[in-house]
Amino acid sequence: MIRVGVNGYGTIGRRVADAVKKQKDMELVGVTAGHPHYKYAVASEKGIPLYALDMKSLEAFNKEGYVLRGTLNDLLQRVDVVVDGAPEDSGPANKAVYSQAGVKAVFQGGEEHELTGVSFVAQCNFDRAVKKQSVRVVSCNTTGLCRVIDAVDKGPGVSRARAVLARRATDPDDVKKGPIDAVVLDPTTVPSHHGPDVRTVLPGIEIVTMAFKVPTTHMHLHSVILSLKSKAGREDVVKALEAAPRLNLVDGKSGFKSTANIMDWAREKGRDRNDVYEATVWRDSVTVVDGDAYFFLGVHQEAIVVPENVDAIRALAGGYTREESMKLTDQSLGIAHR
Ligand SMILES: NC(=O)c1ccc[n+]([C@@H]2O[C@H](COP(=O)([O-])OP(=O)(O)OC[C@H]3O[C@@H](n4cnc5c(N)ncnc54)[C@H](OP(=O)(O)O)[C@@H]3O)[C@@H](O)[C@H]2O)c1
């Protein structure tokens, strides 16, 4: 069993903790708790052991009557791998703590590539993370882009990629940043950081991205244009996308007209928290004109990186091939395995 701790129990940390609980080769030893909040009461009800982020947190939780097992330092004594779900840019300080405890660490996309030197999307570069001390699972948008670019690159081949990202303004439980009543250029300059971030995983891909925020909390929507290396047609691109892991192809005629329908599909499937772990491609949007493939890509920001985190844990622990790990993860989360 790989013993896993989660430090930072927010949007990503909560989901990764539940996903780890579903793995037959992993034990969720505990999660850290910063400030008293109903999510920790629910975690306790689920039997998840809680550890305070620090002594101040411990005092605050004790006052509220919580039973905690110790602090982050105690958790680190009991795990093989820690998943860092802390707010972006906490990575450098947290990495020093993990290193001192001799614990391997999975970081998230809010950190810089240089923090670990390995940026991870399971289908693209699982092997690069095997037995490393730490790895960074890239952001939700970068994960979505890498999945589709890798899929088409392994089929017709990609000589250049471009994407325009309509980003959700914030997450559904965040009342501090949203809803917004505007389309916000994010940033006003071109390119956005997403293109360079894709290259930390797929260094051979030429890519330029632009991004803006829109008034929604559910999902990002990318308009993707891939210049193909070969004289492929629409069916070749569709075939490559259909054969790839962790992609769902949907059609407008079946009722998938918007991101709201993708979230509704997950609700109908009875997915935990309505999570869509797959990147969604609108099959009917796939069009090839003069050697360029065009399509729409949907990314559920809260969920898409969850399977990647589970695979990153196995990569760091060692002893699994990419195929073995992705299969275990997919089967446990209800993702159709390809
Ligand atoms: N949200 C997304 O859509 C998304 C998607 C992909 C990747 N990411 C990346 O995932 C990471 C986490 O983002 P998130 O949205 O999950 O954050 P979040 O919802 O704000 O949650 C952050 C959690 O970290 C805890 N925390 C605060 N300071 C900490 C510290 N110094 N060390 C450890 N834990 C700390 C907080 O505890 P308390 O609540 O108890 O204070 C909170 O539970 C970021 O790198 C982000 O860029 C986010």
For 140-299, give the CATH class.
alpha beta
Is 139 near ligand 1, meaning CB less than 6 Å away? yes
Domain with CATH 3.40.50.720 in the chain: 2-138+305-333
For residue 121, CA distances in Å to 89, 127, 142, 197, 270 come to: 20, 10, 9, 12, 26
Is 91 near ligand 1, meaning CB less than 6 Å away? no
**In this structure, what token pair is assigned to residue 54?**
């620090």
Is 57 near ligand 1, meaning CB less than 6 Å away? no
Domain with CATH 3.30.360.10 in the chain: 140-299
Closest by Cα among 35, 29, 26, 28 to 8 = 35
pLDDT tens-digit map of 11-59: 999 999 999 999 999 999 999 999 999 999 999 999 999 999 999 999 9
Cα–Cα distance, 230 to 232 (Å, whole number): 5
Nearest CA to ligand 1 atom 18: 10
Closest by Cα among 146, 155, 145 to 228 = 155
Is 53 near ligand 1, meaning CB less than 6 Å away? yes
pTM reported for the whole predicted model: 0.98
* 195 Cβ neighbours under 8 A, 6+ residues apart: 161, 163, 207, 208, 209
Cα–Cα distance, 7 to 51 (Å, whole number): 9
Nearest CA to ligand 1 atom 28: 86
Q: Which atom in ligand 1 lies closest to the alpha carbon of residue 140?
A: 6
Ranges of the chain with pLDDT below 50: none
**In this structure, what token pair is assigned to residue 169?**
């303004």
Q: Which atom in ligand 1 lies closest to the alpha carbon of residue 36?
A: 40
Mutate to test the pocket of ligand 1, among 11, 37, 143 (most ligand atoms within 8 A of CB): 11
Task: Identify the pLDDT of residue 177.
Answer: 86
Contact 122, 322 (CB under 8 A): yes
Closest by Cα among 156, 130, 137 to 85 = 137
What's the 84 CA to ligand 1 centre distance in angstroms?
8
CB atoms within 10 A of CB 323: 13
**In this structure, what token pair is assigned to residue 219?**
């999902």
**In this structure, what token pair is assigned to residue 297?**
């890509």
2-138+305-333 to CATH, choices 3.20.20.140, 3.20.20.80, 3.40.190.10, 3.40.50.720: 3.40.50.720
